[in-house]
Structure 1
Amino acid sequence: MDRMTRLLDHLRGVPGATVAELARELGATERTVRRDLARAREGGVVLDVRRGRGGGVRLIRDTHLPALRFTEDEALALALALGAVAADPRLSAMARSARLRLGRVLTDRFGERVAALADVRPEEPVSLLGADPVRAEVLLDLCVAVARRHRVELAYRSGSGTPTRRPVDPYEVVRMAGHWYLVGFCGLRRGIRVFRIDRVATVRRTEITVRAPDDLDAPALVAAGVRRSAEDPVICEFAFDVDARRARELAPAYRMELVDRPGGAHGIIRALPHHLPRLARWVLGLDVGVRVIAPAALRDELGRLADRAHALADG
């Protein structure tokens, strides 16, 4: 096997390597490696070469091998099957290398998306997609956005069923408790959020580069979200001085049950306990008469907001 063949074979099986690492692998000088990389480019091999600290060489497309064609679901099945193998520590390195090689020879449409799945944390090799109706193209596009550190725009359905469009800086894709999650900074809510990927309708990738916080612990954030979602909902009851049609317009972000009664509408919102502070802020922002019937915890939140407002006014 000549040096060029060994060089390309090594790059097919690793996510990236420095020139110094390639030189050690090939038993050549760094100058020789750079010359070989230039020859490979001239021959049609697509490389991503970055200089400086944290830089390296990454194989994007290898024209020396014929492109393989799969449907989106077939490409996802191949990548996830290798992910199941990677759950065995004895096979992890080999499975990851195989997934990267697979990504190198797939057609342009799927190659980088399947290769990006090599960076998703492997878990138990059972029910890899969980019980959710996760769409292959959505999961793959999010994995690539994470790998490239590119901002995305999501068409997302919240837990209450409300559709939204929101810019998101994607940090990590995590699978836990039978679900796929995306952890990232939400431009709509202005904070780090956990998104259920089965609730993502479409993904539009941008060229805007983002950076994840150095101390981010994505699995811990997902675990905390899973624990909160298991909490029993709190029944929040309201009396409005407007009819049900007008009251429904006041709560586009909540699924509110409404009935007309003499003097105004009666409404019920089922909320998780950690949502009560946000619900209290919503109540304060209403421009109609409203009375909180229950729970006492929501009235306590309103009292805390009132105390803070008084303190700010006095200060």
Structure 2
Amino acid sequence: MTAERAETCSAHLPVMFSQVMEGLRVREDGTYLDGTFGRGGHARGVLERLGAKGRLLLMDKDPEAIAVAQAEFAGDARVSVRRGSFAGLADWDATADGLDGVLFDLGVSSPQLDVAERGFSFGKDGPLDMRMDPESGESAAQWLAHASEQDIAEVLWKYGDERMSRRIARAIVARRGQQPIVRTAELAELIAAVVPRAKPGRGHKETHPATRSFQAIRIHVNRELEDAGAGLEAAHARLRPGGRLAVISFHSLEDRLTKQFIARHAKAPAGNRRLPEARPFVPSLRAVGDAQKAGADELASNPRARSAVLRVAEKLQVAA
């Protein structure tokens, strides 16, 4: 790891740190899993609250994040590290005895955005990659090279709410017929050429025309919503009664998925008087408070927290 990247890691600010620690309600002898280690800001907070009998399990798809975790915590017997998506957390033997807390910090991390070679940002020219695990699956460039115009438009609309999705997809297919699109700057310039810039609202900066498209392609390439859904179910299965689930989301798709997941396990579905009564609903989760957002002090020092939403739920004891 270069000195520049090490500095990026140490300067990383964990989003909504105090609210997450309060939500997880860390016990000294508990077992906790951070499914999105990133650069370890939240994980260090959990570890500081653990005693000698506590355990901290760390996961991440990103090999650079795992390298940081192993370098920092290799000598701590309380910590175990596993490379992989949190969607498969229930397959990890270390979770088999149950968890007292699970944290998911969804979306792309600041270090990933800040390194041009990762290809996440239209503001930094680099290879058009966007994979959180650059050794697995298709890169954004590879997907755009073969996806149909209809599929590209559907992804841009579904995951980016991009109103110009068809126009952008048409331009991508036309351009790739002349030359492959392999750089972030190429794609950003192509999108900017076909999408008019929106006028910023009062007090807001102008949004780059490629913002929604880059978000959508990243979500698709990394299967972020599919992994989030599977991860939430796996966390629910592994949490012990009284254990806490804390999820930080950065856009409405993730937050809606999390909100609906908690509600599905906490509230009885609406009944239909015309149908026979089904088995009585037994809640297995309870929402802990309302959705939380970053405060003014945090936003002043970490503007990327402005879109963050934290939801916390607690596992309930369900009678056999």
Instruction: Name the TM-score class by shorter chain.
Output: under 0.3
User: Which has the larger strand fraction?
Assistant: 1
Larger Rg, first or second structure (1 or 2): 1
TM-score by length of 2: 0.19
**Which has the higher relative contact order, 1 or 2, with Cα contacts under 8 A spaced 6 or more apart?**
2
TM-score by length of 1: 0.19
